[in-house]
Amino acid sequence: MNGWLAAATALLVCGVGPAAYGVVTGPVHRRIAAQNLTTTLVSLVLLLLAQGYARPAYVDTALLLAVLGPAGTLVYVRLLAPDVAERPPRPRRLRALTLTNYVAVAAVTLPLCAAAGPGRSLAKLLVIAVLLGLGSHVTARAMTAGPGGPADDETSPDGPAPDGPVTGGRVTGGASTDGPVTGAPADDGRTPGGPVTDGPVDDRRAPGDPVTDGPTYDGQPPGAPLTNGPAAGGPGAGR
């Protein structure tokens, strides 16, 4: 057994084994991330085996897996989007897993490129490394972005919509009034809940007194009934 086969065996036992265990256990977002990591590690194992056994055909298998693996992961992200949105992955863990993919790809492909030398094999190794790195990056972005983003807030900026209907008037502060809102403006002189009449309101009258249609004389005390003749103290009094 040469060093390439020893590295492939170590990566298969210490990398692919735990990643495959993560595929079959845990929440959905962890399974998808573990599936992407398993694809990357299996591709690297195939590259190491191709170098250790001198089988260039294994490189073509690794290239095919590097193309189809990330595409399959994106399909799972799309199909399982509701489950991923229900329990989204933690950004720090997802970034750490993506960084692990980058480190594993660089640690395996760089020595293989040095051993292969210039030629067609070197070009294939570089393409596989780029595909695996881009696949990990795109998968991480797809899992964090989600299918539709955050839900739109239907409430108004001033606050929640009032429970009761709003008629005629304008609601202030986001809360509705207890009574109906009439089209006539409120009178400062009347008591709360009192009726609004067509005539002018006497500011000097007592709260709760009825409002008459006739004008009020300056010499008449508040609350006194209105007469047809001139009030006492007014013009023509004492005649």
**Residue 176 included in any domain:** no
**Residue 178 included in any domain:** no
**Residue 122 included in any domain:** yes
**Residue 194 included in any domain:** no
Average pLDDT over residues 117-144: 89
**Residue 233 included in any domain:** no
Q: Total domain count for the chain?
A: 1
**Residue 205 included in any domain:** no
Q: What percent of the chain has pLDDT over 90?
A: 31
Q: What is the pTM of this model?
A: 0.59
**DSSP letters for 177-191:** -SSPPPSSPPPTTSP
Say how far apart CA 133 and CA 106 lie, in whole Å: 9
DSSP three-state, residue 114: helix
Residue 72 token pair:
């399959």
Say how far apart CA 114 and CA 129 lie, in whole Å: 14
**Residue 239 included in any domain:** no
**Owning domain of residue 100:** 3-148
- Give pLDDT, residue 59: 92
- Give pLDDT, residue 148: 44
Say how far apart CA 177 and CA 171 lie, in whole Å: 8
- Give pLDDT, residue 60: 92
**Residue 159 included in any domain:** no
Residue 17 token pair:
């084994």
The answer to whether 29 touches 89, Cβ cutoff 8 Å, is yes
Poorest-pLDDT segment among 8-22, 102-116, 135-149: 135-149
